[in-house]
Amino acid sequence: MSASSSAPREIVRVDCPDDVGLIHRITGVLQGHRLNIESNHEFVDGEARHFFFRAEVTAAAAAIAGGTLHADLAAVLPPGARVRVTREDRRPIVVCATREPHCLGELLLLDAVGELPGRIVAVAANHDDLRGLVARFGVPFHHVPHEGVSRAAHEAALGQVIDAHAPAYVVLARYMRILSEGFVARYAGRLLNIHHSFLPAFAGASPYRQAFARGVKLIGATAHFVTAELDAGPIIAQDVIPVDHTFTPERMAQAGRDVEKLVLARAVRLVLEERVFVHGRRTVVFG
């Protein structure tokens, strides 16, 4: 069936233990709600025997207004199924930064030109260096200094700023602070981070100079969900670029910044578009 061009688009996600006939059951419910499937993806993790499904559907607004789609899907699925139905929308995000502008700047630019499937409603930073950059885009900037206060007090202040904007997700765009387990739990499943892919080989200060000294041939970046275990959350997106002996530490750092900002932007897009399923320590990502 065809849908009106003005019909709202919904995203339907299901993950559950694998079973016979799941596609038939799900599409039967969607048909019963007079929903047109514009695109869909499914995947079965054979080792875990787990099923993942994502579809974009459209219909008259009244078709979903009754609020029974979620319940009707759950009723035909195995116990333990997770069902999520969301409306395609530019949901709010808060970005946390420190001093480095590249990741933050990429997200601000994408938002400004309408290429980010979300809205940056605020930037919070523990230094004031990036205020001018953020001001150019008309986004509220909050300086939440950490000097002279305890980590608990700083995180309480940061959380107050974040919560005032009610974001769907919080993005750490080179936010150079280790967050407590309690703070991470406060935003569980909604906190994204980016770092270079040298970890753990070149952890700590000056990773690109360490990599230069070891003569590495690939550098990259990893975007992941934040968990209590430092830099070990489920991975959303990664990429690498080649380097060679002609790269100075400074040129290597610039190349690293380029890949970091692109990987983070890709991860934010994937999450906002409901393309990322977390299953244990792993992710299933529908591109």
For 2-58, the pLDDT digits (tens) are: 444 556 789 999 999 999 999 999 999 999 999 999 999 999 999 999 999 999 999
* Region 120-142 average pLDDT: 98
Burial class (CB in 10 A: 0-12, 13-18, 19+), 112: middle
Which of 44-58, 79-93, 123-137, 190-204 has the least mean pLDDT?
A: 190-204
Domains defined along the chain, listed by start: 9-87 (3.30.70.260), 91-285 (3.40.50.170)
Active-site annotation holder among 129, 231, 239, 258: 231
State what percent of residues in the chain have pLDDT above 90. 83
pTM: 0.91
Known catalytic residue at 231:
yes
pLDDT in tens, 137-170: 999 999 999 999 999 999 999 999 999 999 999 9
- Sequence-distant (≥ 6) Cβ neighbours of residue 179 within 8 angstroms: 155, 226
Indicate the SS3 state at residue 158.
helix
Indicate the SS3 state at residue 5.
coil
State what percent of residues in the chain have pLDDT above 70. 94
Indicate the SS3 state at residue 38.
strand
